[in-house]
């Protein structure tokens, strides 16, 4: 097989991991050290062990994106983002997790759901995979049923901004959240193609880190 004939898609592999140990236990995620074989060579890498996450680009009938602003301590910034959250509830379906996050962070539910894009955030150092859904047919959560937010989420601000305006802010260098950037530009491209790139909300997600089986050597 030549370079030109290698399929243009990521290839998921069964890792030949000979040992794996947690070297740091954190409040949100851990760091593990893996020893594995690659083409006959033994390598050691530290990996941020992440449960994966989901995010929601919620688009209303006026083609506006529902944005939230949240303080993010690692970058010391109030970031504009789309609703998102960790898949840290055992056995929870990713779509259910996305629906929960939209309701909890934005007080909104949606009638229509589709997969917009899947991606790895930083595959050189962590195994986080994110699935972004497109949600439409938005409806407010009744006042008495709304989630009581805590921590950073207690101070969220919310805006609805036209998709093209969000894209312009991304290109101007005014918005930096990676999930927002990827979701916005993907949604814009998908819209230009008549949304034909959208996948069913229950599409398989083999790239999710939950597929890990541990040491295989």
List the catalytic residues: 153
CB half-sphere exposure, 59, CA atoms < 13 A: 23
Half-sphere exposure for 101 (CA within 13 Å, toward CB): 29
Angle CA 211–214–215, to nearest 5: 140
Q: Which residues lie below 8 Å from residue 38, measured CB to CB, with a gap of 6+? A: 16
Please give the Cα distance from 128 to 119 (Å, whole number): 9
3-state helix, strand, coil in the chain (%, to 5): 25, 40, 35
Which residues partner with 37 through β-bridges?
A: 42
- The 3-state DSSP class for residue 180 equals helix
């Amino acid at each position: 097989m030549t370079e030109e004939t290698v399929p243009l898609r990521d290839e998921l592999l069964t890792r030949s991991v000979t040992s794996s140990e947690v070297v740091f236990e954190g409040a949100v995620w851990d760091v593990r050290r893996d020893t594995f074989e690659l083409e006959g060579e033994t390598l050691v890498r530290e990996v941020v062990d992440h449960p994966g996450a989901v995010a929601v680009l919620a688009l209303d009938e006026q083609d506006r994106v529902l944005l939230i602003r949240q303080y993010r301590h690692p970058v010391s910034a109030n970031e504009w983002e789309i609703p998102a959250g960790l898949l840290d509830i055992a056995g929870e379906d990713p779509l259910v997790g996305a629906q929960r996050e939209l309701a909890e962070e934005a007080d909104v539910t949606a009638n229509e759901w589709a997969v917009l894009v899947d991606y790895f955030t930083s595959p050189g150092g962590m195994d986080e995979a994110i699935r972004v859904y497109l949600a439409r047919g938005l409806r407010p959560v009744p006042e008495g049923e709304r989630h009581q937010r805590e921590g950073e989420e207690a101070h969220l601000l919310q805006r609805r901004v036209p998709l093209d305006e969000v894209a312009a802010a991304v290109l101007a260098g005014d918005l930096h959240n990676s999930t927002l950037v990827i979701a916005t530009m993907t949604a814009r491209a998908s819209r230009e193609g008549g949304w034909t790139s959208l996948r069913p909300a229950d599409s398989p997600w083999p790239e999710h880190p939950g597929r890990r089986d541990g040491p295989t050597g």
